[in-house]
Amino acid sequence: MAREPAVRLSRGARPSRVHLKADILFEDKPIHNVIPRWRGAEKPDEWIVIGNHRDAWVHGAVDPNSGTAALLECARALGKLKEQGFKPKRTIVFASWDAEEYGLVGSTEWCEDLREELEKKCVCYINVDAGVSGREFRASAAPRSRASRATWRPPWRIPKKGGASSTCGSSAPSPRPRIPLSVLFVGNDGEDPKVGDLGSGSDYTAFQHHLGIPSLDIQFEGPYGVYHSVLDDFFWMERFGDPSFSSHRALARYLGVALLRMSSADLLPIRPEAQANAIIGHLGDLMKQYPEVFAANSEKTKAADELRSAAARLGELPRIWRPRGARARGRR
């Protein structure tokens, strides 16, 4: 129990004094991650891990239950494929994390326990958290790149802003069997898709920031003023967040397409040159923001130059060994 100092509030010319008391209980309790695996037929020691946490502050219709629903539906659909005899090349690992809201405990503990194995085997982590709070599709990744172009090219259209109908919410296929990826991203300028940088605060943190595993986080966003509150419930979702539940369906389909392509591709759709460009770009921003730190001939400037050179070499290597056919396909 902690007692804070008095806080003086002013309402017009009449000040008031309040005392804020916070009762916080600290105790150890067991948590449970649920980790089913689908063993790959050709490359079982290459893992595609996809995860979502299932604990919420209150009801959690958006955070995390919308992501949980999409992940479970994706798993159900892949289970149907398994019954039909389909086998992925790589191992698919599903993860239902516990205790995310209490400090990313479930995913972090799992990554720490399996650190050596994950560093050798995990080739990608796909994260979904607050999966649906609207209709605007957004993705963040590291490496942030056109790698997503190879991963996301679904044969349907995403929900349109404003609630307009779309083929995404029906069983009818889109008249266009393939649509440019750039159409799928908010802020599209006709060029490459807009993929943001991964920050922290969700279960990709241990994978990306501690183990250095390529990671992707996806969601459908919208106005979400009920975050972490008792009002984040089914009524809000049905009335405001996703009344047609088309974004939920789209998210489940995205997850399924991503898992199938990542687990079955001959070459993983991850482009090292994009990581190199990101490193060089962030390093340049850092040096512009703190010029006094990177003074001429300083040790930090020397280290920055070495990092830039190493990133440039990383970006050049794929262009040397990538097959001519792959280069041609990448330009389309």
* 100 catalytic per annotation: yes
Q: What is the pLDDT of residue 321?
A: 66
What is the residue-averaged pLDDT of the chain?
Answer: 81
The pLDDT value recorded for residue 165 is 34
Q: What percent of the chain has pLDDT over 90?
A: 51
DSSP of 142-189: ES-STHHHHH---SS-PPPGGG---GGGSSSPPSSSS--GGGGSTT--
pTM comes to 0.77
pLDDT digits (tens, 9 = 90+) for 109-153: 999 999 999 999 999 999 999 999 998 888 888 876 543 443 444
Local confidence band at 268 (pLDDT 50, 70, 90 cut-offs): confident
Residue with the bigger pLDDT between 10 and 39: it is 39
- Reported as a single tens digit per residue, the pLDDT across 176-223 is 333 333 333 333 334 445 678 888 899 999 999 999 898 999 999 999
Kindly name the residue from 100, 116, 117, 299 that is annotated as catalytic.
100
Cα–Cα distance measured from residue 64 to residue 130, given in angstroms and rounded to the nearest whole number = 5
Report the relative pairing of strands 122-127 and 43-53 from DSSP bridges.
parallel
Which tens digit of pLDDT belongs to each residue from 269-297? 777 777 788 889 889 998 888 888 887 66
Domains and CATH numbers, the chain: 37-264 (3.40.630.10), 272-331 (no CATH)
Task: Report the distance separating Cα 67 and Cα 75, nearest Å.
Answer: 12
